[in-house]
């Protein structure tokens, strides 16, 4: 038992240090993500598609030559099961929020303190969430209909993103509360939502994948601590259609293609029964 505990401690230390060493260049999530979508698109053949992102702006070169890029395919057969990662600790709370149509996606941004998650012993404050359709990550080779990213930042500037995948089925309860706002959000609009709790976002499972990757939009900053919930939840066709209809032309399908794993280890947390 003592040996196992020492190994778990070593693993946590190694993962913690590696993630934070990679994150030192990332000041905060909002600064790192592109707000103006005009320089890039998701359509290949336009000269501004994903294959060209690294050549559009000198600060985006890592989109092309980075070795820790996201998204990736999450394969159960290659994931290392590691219960020692522990349950993802969520400490979310209601706070003032706005809905933004950023042109390339729809996001909810918290203006007050909406709480945090704790990952690898580090607190990450929740900043915003946004949607990609279809999903960016794939599970065992399957691409799903939608992916939600919940973006967090630590006091040292580290970025941690929680991803939740969705397939067509019953409406998602969190999106249901936002749907009428989404439908009227023209490009560039910022709509006051009042008080919103990120705790209303349903995870549905304690199982998750964990790996080190990057932002999935330019500038593709690396060193992001990714947590992808294993359970695939459901979303209605109407909800996906609303998200797609209001974004700028060329961003209706706003999923970056899969990136090379480059030998990275993916861990799977599965609670001990």
- Catalytic, 104? Answer yes
Edge-to-edge strand order for the sheet containing 73-74?
73-74, 138-139, 142-143
Q: How many CB atoms lie within 10 A of CB 16?
A: 16
142 three-class SS: strand
Q: At what angle do helices 173-183 and 237-245 cross, to 10 degrees?
A: 40
As given in the structure block, the two tokens for residue 266 are 């993916």
Among 104, 130, 144, 149, which one carries the catalytic annotation?
104
Q: Are strands 222-229 and 159-168 parallel, antiparallel or unpaired?
A: parallel
The CA-CA-CA angle for residues 173, 177, 180, to 5°, reads 130
Q: E-strand spans in 144-246?
A: 146-153, 159-168, 190-196, 208-214, 222-229, 233-235
- Positions marked catalytic: 104
């Amino acid at each position: 038992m003592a040996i196992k505990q020492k190994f778990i401690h070593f693993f946590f230390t190694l993962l913690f240090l590696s993630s934070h060493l990679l994150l030192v260049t990332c000041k905060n999530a909002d600064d790192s993500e592109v707000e103006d979508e005009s320089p890039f698109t998701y359509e290949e053949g336009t000269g501004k598609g994903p294959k060209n992102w690294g050549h559009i702006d000198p600060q985006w070169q890592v989109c092309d030559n980075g070795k820790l890029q996201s998204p990736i395919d999450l394969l159960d057969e290659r994931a290392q099961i590691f219960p020692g990662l522990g349950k993802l600790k969520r400490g979310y709370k209601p706070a003032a929020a706005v809905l933004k149509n950023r042109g390339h996606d729809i996001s909810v941004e918290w203006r007050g303190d909406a709480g945090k998650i704790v990952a690898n012993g580090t607190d990450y404050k929740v900043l915003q969430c946004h949607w990609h359709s279809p999903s960016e990550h794939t599970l065992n080779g399957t691409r799903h209909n939608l992916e939600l990213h919940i973006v967090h930042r630590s006091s040292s500037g580290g970025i941690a993103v929680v991803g939740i995948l969705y397939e067509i089925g019953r409406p998602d309860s969190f999106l249901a509360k936002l749907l009428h706002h989404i439908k009227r959000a023209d490009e560039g609009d910022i709509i006051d939502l009042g008080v919103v709790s990120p705790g209303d976002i349903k995870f549905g499972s304690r199982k998750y994948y964990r790996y080190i990757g990057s932002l999935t939009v330019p500038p593709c900053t690396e060193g992001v601590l990714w947590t992808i919930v294993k359970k695939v939840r459901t979303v209605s066709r109407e909800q996906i259609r609303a998200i797609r209809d209001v974004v700028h032309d060329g961003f209706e399908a706003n999923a970056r293609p899969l990136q090379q794993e480059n030998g990275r280890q993916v861990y799977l947390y599965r609670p001990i029964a």
